[in-house]
Amino acid sequence: MTDKKITDLISNMTLQEKAALCTGATPWRTVAIERLGLKPIIVSDGPHGLRRSQDIESLITESFPATCFPVAAALSASWDTDLLYEMGQALAEESLALAVDILLGPGLNIKRSPLCGRNFEYFSEDPVLAGEMAAALVKGVQSKGVGTSIKHFAVNNQETRRFTVDAIVDERTLHEIYLRGFEIVVRKGQPWTVMCAYNSVNGHFCAENKYLLTDILRDQWGYEGFVMSDWGAVHDRVASLQAGLELEMPGPSPHRTQAVIEAVESGELDEAVLNQAVERLLKIIFRAQATPKGHQSIDIEGHHALARRIASECIVLLKNDQHILPLTGNETLAVIGEGAANPVYQGGGSSHIHATKVDSALEFLKTRAEVQYVVGDSSTAVNPVATAEAVAIAKEADVALLFIALPASIESEGYDRTGLDLTPQQIALIKAVAHANPRTVVILNNGSAIDMREWIDDVDAVIEAWLPGQAGAGAVVDILYGDVNPSGKLGETFPLRLSDTPAYLNFPGENNQVRYGEGIFVGYRAYEALGRDVLFPFGFGLSYTQFEYNNLRVSASNFTVKDTLEVTLDITNLGPVAGKEVVQLYVRDCQARLRRPAKELKAFAKVHLASGETKSITLKLDEQAFSYYDPAYSRWVAEPGEFELLIGSSSTDIRLTQGVRLTQGTPLPSIIHSESTLGDWMEDPVASKVVQPLLASIFGLNEGNTLGVDATTFFKDLPLTVLLGFQGGQLGASPQQIVADLLKKLHSVETRQPA
């Protein structure tokens, strides 16, 4: 529908109709206006499958069967944007079949702490990885005429008091860590909707936060869709409309509609604001309705096969001593753990999918080997009888396979974890089985990092299978037998212990407030800055083959912010089997005005190589790759100077390095003012030239000082006016007048380059 037709439609709507459209009609659909021929659209929970309610009039009801794909924690470990696009298309096909117009997802909040109960729904501790993966998924879904709703905007990094907690975060950290992923998705994917979070940010609920919803999302990033609330997130409907939230969910809420009507009638709310909200809603509603829905069918078997292929790309081989894997097919197996027969393949809460079918690893293994099976871990408390049963079969087998899954009582939406440990019985079981059979493999099903210190040295191999979706069991067996060469890499750091985590002292806060005291130092940024060892670093993952990195070259060793830097390298598969490697490009700023991490992920690529094959890979870096957010200017800044490009197989396994120089950075105005210190003047490249003659005269007047220090260093934190005041009347004018004259001279230059 054209903009004019939408404008005409709005002009024909009553105030009651416009106000009603901005609140859901039911928990899962928007308002219909029959007299104007306006039909509703249907939204559905996601994000790794479709939780389409059979009764859209009810909030909690049975959902239709749909394919349960791997969760975001697993998907990020694939580092494969093409794969995410393909999965998005499959999700769209199922949405079309089940008459869903907008899929609520993906979630891309940062994994600030491994304790967040909803981490399984989120991609990564790194905003670039999270943003690129989410953008690919969004583009895949929307390519078929189904919308998405990226969530939860913003700074929603815990479940504890998630409806009310106030996240106190500084401006730089907000932009560099917690908003950056959302910015990538908005700029690259233009999701149809953005879902605001429950919590407050710096004292303002996200649903009523104009700085987030309008100033940043629309004015800075150019967002074109509409903003909806998470279910029950709105506290003041009028304030949320004024802030930029178009749709409140769920409905019906006649008192909310009435509040908007009364606010317009009283003059509290400008009707133009309401009209704008309605216009944004109508544009998406008509876009959704342009694609017919409800007449297609789901390719159950095809999507199940896709789910298995995706899961196999996400599995991370964490340990493989003695090259115990892949299995040869001649081993007898002791299979232990309830997850082998009844897999834990998804998380609890709003993303829980009614799967079309669910594979069992135990059944697949029985077709490949002679198998003995016991549960072993049905209780959380230590159970000597169950452990003894597991030990008995482990002693008789060539290899013991332990399927260890975190129970929903520990990890789920709605509450945070209290620690990183497995259950006491699982720990006792692993240790006992490994003692009985040194050829023990642990297969993990979990949504975030766990503490493995008590048992990891006792086992030969560890497979991180995450919550891999309904076909994940088959993918695990594919990895065990080498039908698929593992290529997953961690999208989050696995720390040694909880107390090592950057947010440890501030998570989950107190008195309904959580302080992000670690700032930008989240995940690998923090562990490197603090020099802390980790269990497994960000980006880590083993393969059944080996890769060699060579011949790094860049398109230019000197470049400006207007240039796109191309970074090319050769990678060779040295091993006997085909495999995939994730090439990771990090950037180090060798010197900056503000403190920066030792390295930051800026680009990556996943490449398939046959045995002995070599390929050239090119990664591109733009201005953003060399920038940081500077609150002094309220913008991203790329400073001229030396940078180091670091290319590796993980954040700690750097294979190639190359220095480059940014010769021309971001043009910036001067921020020197009347209270700036001597150091501020001296560090500013333009201001230093302006003030230098004055400083020469000052320190010339004081050549005989007896302080025994370097004067410029000693006085660098002193405001220039105060320093001038120490000179008495020797300079011929008041300090304030001298500084005012200097500022006038300085500001005659409109822009500058930072040092």
The catalytic site residues sit at 230
Sign of the C-alpha dihedral computed for residues 10, 14, 19 and 25 taken in this order: negative
Find out whether 284 and 225 touch, Cβ atoms under 8 Å: yes
What is the token pair recorded at 370? 């002679």
Which residue, 709, 721, 640, is CA-closest to 680?
Answer: 721
SS3 525: helix
Q: Would you call 217 helix, strand, or coil by DSSP?
A: helix
Give, to the nearest 10 degrees, the angle between helix 271-289 and helix 254-266: 140
Q: Which tokens sit at 159?
A: 């479940």
| Cα gap 447→116, rounded to integer Å | 10
Q: State the pairing for strand pair 654-664/558-560.
A: parallel
Give the C-alpha separation, 165 to 167, whole Å: 6
Angle, CA 446 vertex, CA 440 and CA 448 arms, to 5° = 115
Cβ atoms of 232 and 205 within 8 Å: the answer is no
Burial 370-391 (b: 16+ CB within 10 A, else e): ebbbbbbbeeeeebeebbeebb
Within 10 Å of residue 554's Cβ, how many Cβ atoms?
A: 17
Who's near 618: CB < 8 A, 6+ residues apart?
566, 567, 568
CA angle centred on 500, ends 496 and 505, rounded to 5°: 150
What is the signed CA dihedral for 710, 712, 715, 718, rounded to 10 degrees?
A: -170
> Beta 440-445 vs 399-405: how paired, if at all?
parallel
Q: Which two tokens stand for residue 410?
A: 């520990």
- Which one-letter amino acid corresponds to residue 690? V
- Measuring CA to CA, how many Å separate 734 from each of 37, 723, 724? 74, 12, 8
Q: Which residues of 338-352 are buried (b: 16+ CB within 10 A; e: fewer)?
A: bbbebbbbbbbbbbb
Burial of residue 54, with CB atoms counted within 10 A of its CB: 0-12 exposed, 13-18 middle, 19 or more buried = exposed
DSSP 321: G
Helices (H), 508-618: 524-530
d(CA 477, CA 387): 24
Q: Which tokens belong to 636?
A: 């991203």
Confirm if 479 and 497 have CB atoms less than 8 A apart. Answer: no
Query: For residue 436, how many other CB atoms are within 10 A of its CB?
Result: 20
Q: How many CB atoms lie within 10 A of CB 728?
A: 8
Q: Could you tell me whether strands 371-374 and 333-336 are parallel, antiparallel, or unpaired per DSSP bridges?
A: parallel
Amino acid at 138: V
CA quadruple 601, 132, 355, 157: dihedral sign: positive
Sign of the CA dihedral with 742 first, then 747, 752, and 754 last: positive
H-helix segments, 639-710: 678-683, 685-701
Helices in 214-351 by DSSP H: which ranges?
Answer: 237-243, 254-266, 271-289, 300-314, 338-341
Cα 177 to Cα 179: distance, rounded to the nearest angstrom: 6
Q: Which two tokens stand for residue 647?
A: 């290319």
